Structure 1
Amino acid sequence: MTDLLTSIQAALGLLHSPIPFTSTGALPSAFAVTELACASIAVAGQAVSQLLHQQTGRLPGLEVDRRLASFWFSTSIRPMGWSVPPLWDPIAGDYAAKDGWIRLHTNAPHHRAAAESVLGACADRAAMASKVAQWAKSDLEQAVVDAGGCAAEMRSWEQWQAHPQGQAVNAEPLIQFAQHGRQHALLWQGSVAQPLAGIKVLDLTRVLAGPVASRFLAGLGADVLRIDPPTWNEPGVVPEMTLGKRCARLDLNDKADRSIFENLLKDADIVLHGYRADALQHLGYSSTERQRLAPGLIDVCLNAYGWSGPWQNRRGFDSLVQMSSGIADAGMRCKRADKPTPLPVQALDHATGYLMAASAITLLAERLNSGKTGSARLSLARTAKLLIENGRGDDAPLRAEDEHDQGMLVEQTPWGAAHRLHVPLKITGTPVQWKLAACKLGSHRAQWW
């Protein structure tokens, strides 16, 4: 735990101070997943604590609960009388190719269509399995990627180290900070109870990693406005990830919607996005253009496979990066299993999300203090390297959930009532809490309050 925590603190430029972790047990894994959960949540809290120290002279204490951190890395919502839709498309998953394993990610309709354009229409997993078995894994991975889809063959850590993309990621820092000049220093409008009150966060992220970051910022008082394309939906994660946010839709290929988007961007303090490295550039919103439209904007972004190397523009998700980087292979060997064995939760997504939030708060503190503006880049693959190199964690099992874990308040969502688990992070005097319940995508107008 100490090595993970100090590594992340160093990447963020935070003080190397110990943070207490309460309770016992860990998620069963070949890697220190619970330790990663605790450390990433802790540094997000430490960034808040240091912001408050800068603004008030008081340094709040911190504490992270290991059990709750582990649960939040899976899901925090417990529906009452209704169910969250399945997270995975029926044919998404791992398949045996002629010479090894490959994972197909087909949750988005266009990603499934891309896979089927290569393999043919598949009614179920059995049909897909018979077609994948006819391919060499590397050939199929490249064919699906070339078709605009998402796939990853299973590689070992050693194979990833020899791969050009693995080498590129290894050369990148955990968090790539950059400065963009100096503007007038922002006036802090927050308080100890709500440190981010008055901060506008434009959230252009989807699925898990980025939404984890914006959910955390919303829990500290930020006004988070999430923007999705007109037809995008992710029903399996929306009840979990829209907590505390307003959600609107814009089509950035439409002239009128582009004008609305640019006005939102001009008034934003922080933008979060998880587009591929070249995707916003193709839409006309490169990093340079974003800074031109919104001087002083704090720009925090992530991608799957890193910001250099031949795969920097490749589509990817947590489960695919686990296959590429050696995590699923190591899990299979550790468990003596006969198939890929990933982490028990989407830990790369969640951890990177909290690191994004910590980066945004660290950059905000600098803007409040000196007027200096900046950006941060993170990737799932670089977070994977951090996890892999820290080895195995605690093997003691977590205590199962019980009534004590239920949230203190019932959350009234559009799908029905639900409990939220207690927040794993305690910041003295600063409750992490949300004014808004989870909502459906597109529930709000694309405007700031």
Structure 2
Amino acid sequence: MKKRILSAVLVSGVTLGTVASQVSADDYDSKISAKDALISNLTAEQAAAQSQVNSIQSKVSSLEAEQAELEAENVKLEAESKKLSEEIQSLSSKIVARNDSLKKQARSAQKSNTATSYINTILNSKSVSDAINRVVAIREVVSANEKMLAQQEADKVSIEEKQAENQEAINTVATNKAILEDNKVALTTQQAQLQVAQLELAAQLSTAEDEKASLVSQKAAAEEAARQAAAAEEAARQAAAAQAAAQAQSVAAAQAAATAPAQSVTTQATEAATPAATTTTPAAPAAQVTTPAVQATTTTTAPATTTTTTVSYSTSGNTYPVGQCTWGVKSMAAWVGNNWGNANQWGASATAAGHSTGSTPVVGSVIVWPYDGGGYGHVAYVTSVSGSTITVMESNYAGNMSIGNYRGSFDVNSSGSHYFIYQ
């Protein structure tokens, strides 16, 4: 009886071990199925995320194309501005020369009373023919003066038109440069976002696939443990069957002895009980693997908003780009003309407008450094003078886009090539 109980316990222990291993394997199947579902979801989310990546890439490409277009336009406008500047310089020289000639003629006429001189010239003619010739000569002189005046007026109109066209080109270049700076920042930001989005997509899918591979490996280990437990169960079952068969034979022999005819000699039968060999194979412990829950987080990166700064300027009171040195001087000196161009073009424009230039600093004058500012020149308004030491108010100096005294007092002779424009 004790042997049968021992056999039952043995078989039960093996069976429970096998069931535990099977349950563990089944648990891995459910985890792998969950990971497959996660991978499937991530793959679906990748399509939407990839669309966003493509959108960012499109914006990056668009910004790069816009940068190229603006840079090309600036090259073209600066070439036009250079040509207009040369034409303005030429017209300015002609206007100044004619002004000098007309002033000399006016002074001469005032001194000699030209009208009386012309009459005396005609009256002193030796003959009618000589008088006619003198009248024709006088008419040619008057006509030449009229042509000079007409040409002077025409050149003044032309120079004003060219100055306005030149200023428009300069302002457009300034606006384009501001947009280029803004686009550069936006481009850097969006390129970084693009890289983050691409890496995030790859990392999410890679993590899920790695976790699935780990679960598959763990499942294989659990299945191997279950196989070993099943083999142990089969061996135990076979051992229990052999033991049961031996016990059955023993019972049958005992029954046969009990029914045999009585003999004169009573022989006490001694039952030799040979215990059946019991082979106990311990069940392989079920592999317990704890897999932490993985929460997949999909981050949606919003595309950057491109902010565009436009350089503003007044077309009436001050035509220069706000923040530039030319705008600053015009804001402080109302007598300065509009549309004088870049700082290095102010000398020609000022002389054409009747202003004089020189090398002596004067309070209220404009100082021009024609070779500063990357070749565009720089201007400032002189506020105090003490010998060669001056102070100025200016804009766009050392990155400051508002009007201020950023240098303090300085020796103008040590400040580089310069000249002054006087009111």
**Larger Rg, first or second structure (1 or 2):** 2
User: Normalized against structure 1, the TM-score is what?
Assistant: 0.17
Greater fraction helix: 2
When normalised by structure 2's length, the TM-score is 0.17
Higher RCO (CA-CA < 8 Å; seq separation 6+): 1
- Pick the structure with more strand per residue: 1
